[in-house]
Chain A
């Protein structure tokens, strides 16, 4: 059944949508979109390390992104630079180092475009296992830290005062971000992963009045984007990542009409 590359891509995409839906909500709520970008850009470095050491790509990307995240936290403590400048510094320097490193790996045939924008032909059965097992682990962990993470997203001091230990939840969430990037890089590509986190969540925000509903709609939005994106990618021979993101954007635009109606009703 998984012999067909398209079925493999579809199954991988469904897995990715289930993970990016809930995590994307937190990215929107906690204003972490640029942080997501930074981790995604560092993924290129992770891939080159994996290729040169013949190491598992997803694991290598996860470790690299985690190290970058830790490095960022240290930099924030030790410098007076604003957060976005530090994020930009890390994002572009890790992208730069990654591309330089690829230049040295001329002995390996390597599809940089596929890495940047996603390639459905590249998804193997092994990747499917990693996405689905990793995805279940990510979602279980998120379920476990939901309460402290959500409470501190609403108000940090309340969560801290009432004993929920938000700092631990935040650290775990950072690792989950690194993990989701590692899992979805092949499908979406590292330049567009943050879009897969944000756009379905933004679509969901327009349709929801409670946090749980938003998570649900975010997953649905992600699934629809994957279906629409992959089918058009097959028909039009476009790269999978941009196709999925474009589909997500179309859904978001449609969801804007729903908002207009609610605002009209209010007046």
Chain B
């Protein structure tokens, strides 16, 4: 553990009410530099809502939210873009930040869609669009990345590659990542800290601790717990770039 822990965003007992009903409540978490924190939980458990509270999109929250950076990259879960706008991928890339052509090219190459740079955004497939969204979020070299199901609709091999990319990005940019995902297998290997939500924080901790937690088992079933533990167990090694096994020291 590094001693100079830098917190980027901190939620303390945060929650939000709509029509007298809590969408999510009592969430405390912090995203630190260089760390990946993952929110898991069933549908409607308040994962996206928690992310939006942290981002400041929802303003009528309760509790405290402290944000220590304004350099943020966001991949929303749902995005409705009006396709009547004349918008190419290149225009979308510079939506919130001015980037040079090289920077655009570099970010799109990372997610494997640099050939689409001059295509109209409305003509992309779901998976291609998702890759563009991720490229846009990382292109501005943010301090904090908030990724709400960033690989939805991406093909299977692409999914693995993108998760590896996310892990690499967090190391390279030394940014903090708040990740939301349903994919327990993929996520757990890369995550430093897991928060399990179901309207409130059920349990949180390292992936292996969460997998053992009773509430987690109640929520996801024994099998999920086993896959998690197995996954953790399987990953006592790392791969070098050429695919060989690198022994941990």
Contacts and interface: CB of A to CB of B under 8 A. Distances in A.
Nearest to A147: B96
B3 interface: no
Interface string A137-163: 000000000010011011101111111
B126 interface: no
Interface residues of A, number: 23
Contacts of B52: 157, 161
Contact of A205 (B70, B84, B146): B84
Nearest to B95: A151
A161 B80 CA distance: 15
Interface stretch (A54-62, A170-178, A209-217, A251-259): A209-217
B19 interface: no
Contacts, number: 69
A63 interface: no
Given A154-B92, A155-B81, A157-B57, A162 B72 contact: yes
Nearest to A167: B59
Contact of B85 (A153, A157, A160, A163): A153
A162 B85 CA distance: 21
Interface string B61-79: 0000000001011101001
Interface in B133-168: 140, 146
B86 interface: yes
A211 B74 CA distance: 22
Contacts of B42: none
B56 interface: yes
A159 B57 CA distance: 9
A161 B95 contact: no
A208 interface: yes
Interface of A is mostly: helix
A151 B91 contact: no
A132 interface: no
B96 A151 contact: yes
Given A163-B72, A210-B87, A158 B95 contact: yes
B49 interface: no
Contact of A161 (B72, B92, B97): B72
Interface of A: 28-29, 147, 150-151, 153-155, 157-164, 205, 208-211, 213-214
In the complex, the 10 A-B pairs of residues with the closest C-beta atoms, listed nearest first: A161-B55, A161-B74, A163-B70, A162-B96, A151-B95, A208-B86, A160-B57, A162-B72, A209-B86, A151-B96
Interface of B: 52, 55-57, 70, 72-74, 76, 79-82, 84-88, 91-92, 95-97, 120, 140, 146
Given A151-B95, A161-B56, A163-B70, 20 more contacts: A28-B84, A29-B82, A147-B96, A150-B95, A154-B85, A155-B76, A157-B52, A158-B74, A158-B79, A159-B95, A160-B55, A160-B56, A161-B55, A161-B72, A205-B84, A209-B86, A210-B86, A210-B87, A211-B86, A211-B87
